[in-house]
Structure 1
């Protein structure tokens, strides 16, 4: 319970936190406007702004010019483990989250030069192009952009692509488990198309994982990139191995 002598900006701060905890303001949801909160607490907008600035600093909300103030989705970190291969879906599921897939595109096209080189196919050779959105607890989380050799892509089904992680599909349905992952982690500002799929503002920083998945004998299986919303940072631990 808020004490009567608690400064108003702190009362507003605690009111918003209580609303988030009670589910009145869900992740991704819009908070009442500054003027509405000012009327509710019989105070000035500057007092409300002070409370919101504190919540913004604490990483609880995000304030978007021209759109309003929104509750941030809690972060779900994944772990970069250098001793085993695990999918993003495996990591998130262990934390109790639910994963869904939205298939955006799956078609054949001529391989770009870099893709052909990565997959070790002839230049201008045909490949399958997959664009898929991963949703965590119903909200957009990761946009996949994958390039797949014809002999693998022709064996993928729409049902599999809308229900399963790619690592699982390759191992359990195609019989080609991933044994090597070569990747690069970088940050970029989301373009209009990526931002639209992830439901974020264009220019918002996103984490990008460029990767090449390989199987037995380093056979290239899939290459591409995945774009992650900021709520999905990567935690890592490296253990030094003493020389024999």
Structure 2
């Protein structure tokens, strides 16, 4: 199947028997094509590129160029059109999904689901996250297990937006509370940032403090939470049985310019750690919008 051209108009997902969905663009094909072609980012704008792309696509959705049920261009096509990396496009699409404009479906692409006004949403506060991380650093102890320069796994390189083969500093630490280990932390930091603190600092100073000393202050964080089974190495470090369930948090920190400055994979014993969010209703309507009270 040939790839759609850069300026292709929006398309609707197919229905049964290959028939087009009843959803149709409210604009003519020509106007839709023109609207997409006109959507460009401004390299001179202080806003990060992924936020500019998200704003352009959101405007196209709200204008009717991409109505509910239509399919947005793929990541590769968008990256080519906006002249950015696919990871930048992915971040923009994730933001649109969180805001309720689209749904990302494997094998079908990114489907427009609405204008973002009626979707029940849970959102976390960056300030609350930072407060929790600082408190954890002050109230617990950490042991440095290993630190080295290495080429990171592909997933981490993508999170840090690094070219393949670019080396980072990887630090493995175990955090304890009153002598009992409860978390296994694997942190990856670009070498130019890691060069501004010592290995000894990793065993004595909270990572957020080290980043700030290195003039890489975190301004944005994106994280996912899932459950995993403990590998033998991690089970030994946390004093649990191999295969025991763990709570895994994967997070990337970015500075005010949008640069990824740290990626971390943290695994926690669920019997000694809980993740809690206090939410406040911010809007009415079915489901409403809920956000972190912090």
TM over 0.5: yes
**In the TM superposition, what are the counterparts of 1:15-164 in structure 2 within 5 Å?**
82=125, 84=127, 85-86=129-130, 88-92=132-136, 98-164=139-205
- Checking the alignment, whether the CA contact within 8 Å between 1:178 and 1:214 is kept in structure 2 is yes
Q: How many residues align?
A: 160
Q: Is the 8 Å Cα contact of residues 142 and 198 (structure 1) preserved in structure 2? A: yes
Superposition deviation, residue 183 in structure 1: 0.5
- Secondary structure of 1:90's partner? helix
Deviation string 1:185-231 (CA, Å, 9 cap, x unpaired) is 11111111110111111111111101101111211001121011111
Structure 2 residue runs without a partner (length 5+): 1-122, 285-294
Q: Is the 8 A contact 2:253 2:263 kept in 1?
A: yes
The 1-side partners of 2:172 and 2:241 are apart by 20
Match of 1:219 in 2: 259
Higher relative contact order (CA 8 A, sep 6+): 1
Is the 8 Å Cα contact of residues 126 and 221 (structure 2) preserved in structure 1?
no
Deviations 1:95-150 (A, max 9, x none): xx842111111101113222222212210111111111111112112111111111
Paired with 1:124 and 1:203, the residues of 2 have a C-alpha distance of 32
Q: Is the 8 A contact 1:103 1:133 kept in 2?
A: yes
Q: Aligned-pair RMSD on alpha carbons?
A: 2.0
1-structure distance, mates of 2:182, 2:228: 16
2:172 and 2:201 map into 1 onto residues whose CA distance is 14
Partner of residue 208 from structure 2, selected from 150, 162, 167? 167
Deviation at 1:81, TM superposition (A): 5.3
TM-score by length of 1: 0.61
Q: Distance in 2 between matches of 1:92 and 1:222?
A: 18
1:176 partner SS = coil
Q: Which residue of 2 aligns with 1:47?
A: none
Q: Give the Cα–Cα distance (whole angstroms) in 2 for the partners of residues 83 and 181 of structure 1.
A: 7
- How far residue 83 of structure 1 moved from its aligned partner, in angstroms, is 5.0
Name the structure with the higher strand share. Answer: 1
2:77 aligned residue: none
Name the SS for the 2:197 alignment partner. coil
- Provide structure 1 residue ranges, at least 5 long, that are not aligned to the other structure: 1-79
Rounded to whole Å, the distance in 2 between the matches of 1:87 and 1:165 is 12
2:246 to 182, 190, 206: 206
